[in-house]
Structure 1
Amino acid sequence: MSNGHHPRFSRRGLLTAAGAALAGTAVTPVIRPAAAAPATFTHPGMLHSAGDLNRARVRVGAGQDPWLSGWNRLIANAHARPTWVANPQATIIRGGTGQNYGILYNDIHAAYQNALRWRISGDTAAADCARDILNAWSATLTTVTGNADRFLAAGIYGWQFANAAELMRGYSGFDLARFQRMMLGVFYPVNNDFLTNHNDACISNYWANWDLCTMASIMAIGILCDDTAKYDQAVNYFKNGPGNGSISRAVPFVYASQGLAQWQESGRDQGHSLMGMGQMGAICEMAWNQGDDLYSYDNTRFMRAAEYVARYNLGNEVPFTTYTWGTGQNCATATQTVISAAGRGQIRPVWDQLYYHYYGRLRRSVPNIAAIAGLGRPEGGGGDYGSNSGGFDQLGFGTLMYAK
């Protein structure tokens, strides 16, 4: 179907029924309209479901590759050491004077990696470390600020922080309620301001990734806080939003006969195009684990875009349609006539999630995604791809968590 949903059944309804069945409770499946908000959220239900975590635990325990190679990549990362000590700040600044946001993203990735380490190995020292990082920040952080880049900080680090907390839900001593208050009071207002007002700029001024990280944060906060309105805000923007993060604007041109589609930032550079694969991929995976198939929405529009970005970064040619948009506050016209080769061929940990979804789950032919994923396997995470912020735009470890 063009919108990615079965005409009669909702994955969310099936997931709810399956979860109850796994818990040993007999249920009659509740079939909801595909567009309905979740009656209850599935937990864990962001980037990693209970099934993902169990598969990784079993396969690593059995010493099987590629999971074992992915695990070894995780435990070799300094951020995954249970000795990591948090450095919480009351104010995080990205952009302008006094930037300190690197402190935040390093601590987030340490919390996430230690949470994964615990979930897969049962190492309670790692769990204690992750818990202590999350608790320290929720007790301290009050403000995310800076120039316009503050919106990137609230977006990227919002969804990543929420994912770390989701893995720690229910762990002894983790103050989930206080963490939820931080996400609702510090991150969400900045997210909502951007998605609503776009920093008072022309609606097309900001690149797709600005919307996407904001949408991902709002979706993750919705799941973490069992807030259907926020979850639906993100899903609805993905489908119909006026900014460049909505699917038809993030992927403006489709080359159906070639199985490709042009990504909105392709004429800018390839580093940001790869970032877009990770940001939209995070949205799609979180929605999938709550019963919404955005991966296939609009005739697999995102899959075609991922094939396009992968194909070009493998060194192959792709079509390019002149891209024109409005900039600044007055929507002054800007135009790109050719695809950008800047940053072409770099490796980022965004591909295994897409490969193991489109091929592993759906058995779709994705030759370019398959080829580029193979070059980066086993995928690492924050700290494995340089020390600047770009190396922390994705949580990573897709080989460990998504291989099927």
Structure 2
Amino acid sequence: MTTNYRHALASGTAISRRSLMAGASLAVPLVAAGAAGVSWAKPKPSPTPLATVSLGPSKYAHPGMVHTLADVEATSLHVADSAQPWLGGWNRLVANGRSNSGWQPDPLETVIRGGDGQNYAQLFPDVHAAYQNALRWRISGEAAHGAAAVRILNAWSGMLKTVTGNADRYLAAGIYGYQFANAAELVRDHPDFELERFRGMLLNIFHPMNEDFLTNHNGAVITNYWANWDLCNMASILAIGVFADRDDLVDRAVTYFQSGAGNGSLPNAVPFVYEDEGLAQWQESGRDQGHTIMGIGLMGAFCEMAWNQGIDCYGHDNNRFLKAAEYVAKYNLGNDVPFTPYTWQSGPKATTAPHVGWQTQTVPGAGSRAQPRPVWDQILGHYSGRKGLNTPWVSQIAATLRPDSGGGYYGTTSGGYDALGFGTLMQYPAQTGRRVSRLQSFNVPDRYVRHSGSTVRLDPTTSPVKDSQFRIVPGLASQADGRISFESVDMPGYFLRHWNYQFSLVQNDGSAVFKADATFLPVIGLAHSRLTSFRSHNFPDRYIRHENYGLVLDLMASDLDRADATYRMVD
């Protein structure tokens, strides 16, 4: 094992996460719609390609937040074919008043949320009007909606100077920061969009407030603020990082998700796990259900944005977030759930003033139980659609809202705008199907796992050729803890399988031995915490690694071994 790349790694050559990101250029909307937005023609390319705006080569996939280009293309095809439930979701979007292409923005220099003179109700309808028009433009190709979204976003980036108010200003900075970025991501290639100016607004107004909250928590003790406060600011930092191509912001947000001190990090937002029941208690469950479901929606949006950049937060800590979503869904469907008393400290830090005291919740909060919020189909789309996992309670609650809508449909106050919505339209599970991925090497990033006949090797490719594509299916031997198997897209029924610690592509013979040899547990990357390693189901001390570009099942004895066993799953 003396190839040059291993010597480079041994000598300390740094390989950044961005070097592994596959950039994707934006495409024009796929389908031309009728004037009313309901009568559809069959898919055809837009006759006039849109000019693109570029800040230079991007290592991030664009659009790559809650929606990707693949999402938009799949939705366009479903709606064009009048397929349900996507057509129902599209009709919800068309009927929503904020998606009207005649929407006129009403920007402010100073947005105030909380305290005297608050005026933020002037902001959130515009944010959602921009998002909904951008979505209609992307799906249908109707130029008027693209123009409307750009008109709204340009007006705000040309006017806004400050977001202020009482402590609630941090909610405004978080919620509207991440939503603004998602709307802008959909039109970033529009020739009339002031991309640089909008980027400056996000980086200079929203991001500093997001970071200030996660760092200082408004001068309060760390447990004072509910999970939602952290989560919206985490989502804003992540979204701004992707939009602005800022590695440091993306890394900051994902690291906080994994281990941050505040209540928005996964261990603190989901403090108690009931493993035998497949459930986990949400941090705000003893408070009320409106805020609890809001938190589920914010974490779902965060995980989706990370996923679309190749970072699996959904699966972190053995799918801990799925267990929390199941818990919240089960309770809001009218069922009993276990509850562990939750105690927290509130008030300012002791260095500034004595804290208020300690409080304890002993039962789930019944307030706003079963409140409709459009967050569930997105979560279902990942865990059931992509991963093939069992989601009994999320499946049931998602069905009660389907097809869901978006901002403005669920109430006129800010709570009705906390989620972008339209999960049925964009992320219903049958659309996503099983995840198809390529396995990109961490330490030889120009090479992917490929097969030629039964031979499996790490070989270079610059395009997503079929022999490098694998359908990620539930583990043939076990689905426990999210175990998976790799089925060839090019040769259905053939799977990656180890034999005598060597890998080949072999047809499934249905035997228990084959199933065990072809089943693996995805874990946090052994050489990079944002990537993935794969542990053998039947030899749990061994991992998939490459050696001289061949694939082997091996023990991990060194840093080089761990680097060889780390991969990025490229959708």
TM, length-normalised to structure 2: 0.65
Verify: 1:389 aligned to 2:414, yes or no: yes
Between the aligned partners of 2:188 and 2:21, the Cα distance in structure 1 is: 19
Verify: 1:129 aligned to 2:129, yes or no: no
Verify: 1:281 aligned to 2:320, yes or no: no
Q: Deviations over 1:220-256 (max 9, x none)?
A: 0000100000111100000010000000000000000
Deviation at 1:102, TM superposition (A): 1.0
Deviation at 1:13, TM superposition (A): 7.8
More strand per residue: 1 or 2? 2
Aligned to 1:50: 69
Aligned to 2:124: 105
Contact 2:270 2:282 (C-alpha < 8 Å) held by counterparts: yes
- Amino acid in the other structure paired with 1:209: N
Verify: 1:320 aligned to 2:339, yes or no: yes
Point out where structure 1 has 5 or more consecutive residues left out of the alignment.
1-9, 23-38
Verify: 1:399 aligned to 2:424, yes or no: yes
Q: Deviations over 1:174-215 (max 9, x none)?
A: 000000000011101111110100001000100000000000
Aligned to 2:22: 16
Q: CA RMSD in A?
A: 1.7
Match of 2:249 among 207, 227, 230: 230
Verify: 1:347 aligned to 2:372, yes or no: yes
Match of 2:81 among 44, 62, 82: 62
User: Residues 150-161 of structure 1 correspond to what in structure 2 (within 5 A)?
Assistant: 150-161=169-180
Between the aligned partners of 2:315 and 2:17, the Cα distance in structure 1 is: 13
Between the aligned partners of 1:266 and 1:398, the Cα distance in structure 2 is: 23
Between the aligned partners of 1:245 and 1:326, the Cα distance in structure 2 is: 16
Q: Secondary structure of 1:254's match?
A: strand
Contact 1:12 1:291 (C-alpha < 8 Å) held by counterparts: no
Contact 2:18 2:247 (C-alpha < 8 Å) held by counterparts: no
Between the aligned partners of 1:350 and 1:170, the Cα distance in structure 2 is: 27
User: Residues 1-400 of structure 1 correspond to what in structure 2 (within 5 A)?
Assistant: 16=22, 19=24, 40-329=59-348, 330=350, 331=355, 332-400=357-425
Change (3 A) 1:356 1:178: same
Deviation at 1:12, TM superposition (A): 8.3
Between the aligned partners of 2:401 and 2:241, the Cα distance in structure 1 is: 32
Between the aligned partners of 1:99 and 1:282, the Cα distance in structure 2 is: 27
Q: Secondary structure of 2:22's match?
A: helix
Q: Deviations over 1:91-136 (max 9, x none)?
A: 0000001111111100000000000000000010000000000000
Aligned to 1:7: none
Between the aligned partners of 2:396 and 2:304, the Cα distance in structure 1 is: 21
Contact 2:332 2:369 (C-alpha < 8 Å) held by counterparts: yes
Deviation at 1:334, TM superposition (A): 1.1
Contact 2:380 2:391 (C-alpha < 8 Å) held by counterparts: yes
Contact 1:11 1:291 (C-alpha < 8 Å) held by counterparts: no
Deviation at 1:346, TM superposition (A): 1.4
- Amino acid in the other structure paired with 1:263: W
Contact 1:47 1:282 (C-alpha < 8 Å) held by counterparts: yes
Between the aligned partners of 2:119 and 2:243, the Cα distance in structure 1 is: 26
More helix per residue: 1 or 2? 1
Point out where structure 2 has 5 or more consecutive residues left out of the alignment.
1-15, 28-57, 432-571
Q: Secondary structure of 1:92's match?
A: strand
Deviation at 1:62, TM superposition (A): 1.2
Deviation at 1:11, TM superposition (A): 11
Change (3 A) 1:204 1:352: same
Contact 1:378 1:400 (C-alpha < 8 Å) held by counterparts: yes
Aligned to 1:33: none
Q: Secondary structure of 1:16's match?
A: coil
- Amino acid in the other structure paired with 2:359: A
Contact 1:12 1:290 (C-alpha < 8 Å) held by counterparts: no
Contact 2:21 2:60 (C-alpha < 8 Å) held by counterparts: no
Deviation at 1:14, TM superposition (A): 7.7
- Amino acid in the other structure paired with 2:131: Y
Between the aligned partners of 2:97 and 2:369, the Cα distance in structure 1 is: 28
Q: Deviations over 1:5-54 (max 9, x none)?
A: xxxxx99888628x59x9xxxxxxxxxxxxxxxx8111000000111010
Q: Secondary structure of 2:359's match?
A: strand
Structure with larger Rg: 2
Between the aligned partners of 2:258 and 2:91, the Cα distance in structure 1 is: 38
Deviation at 1:390, TM superposition (A): 0.5
Contact 1:324 1:334 (C-alpha < 8 Å) held by counterparts: yes
Identify which of structures 1 and 2 has the higher relative contact order when contacts are C-alpha pairs closer than 8 Å and 6+ apart.
Answer: 1
- Amino acid in the other structure paired with 2:22: T
- Amino acid in the other structure paired with 2:138: R
- Amino acid in the other structure paired with 2:330: R
- Amino acid in the other structure paired with 1:346: Q
Between the aligned partners of 2:418 and 2:381, the Cα distance in structure 1 is: 20
User: What is the number of residues matched between the two proteins?
Assistant: 378
Deviation at 1:356, TM superposition (A): 1.0
Contact 1:127 1:168 (C-alpha < 8 Å) held by counterparts: yes
- Amino acid in the other structure paired with 2:151: D
TM, length-normalised to structure 1: 0.91
Contact 1:13 1:291 (C-alpha < 8 Å) held by counterparts: no
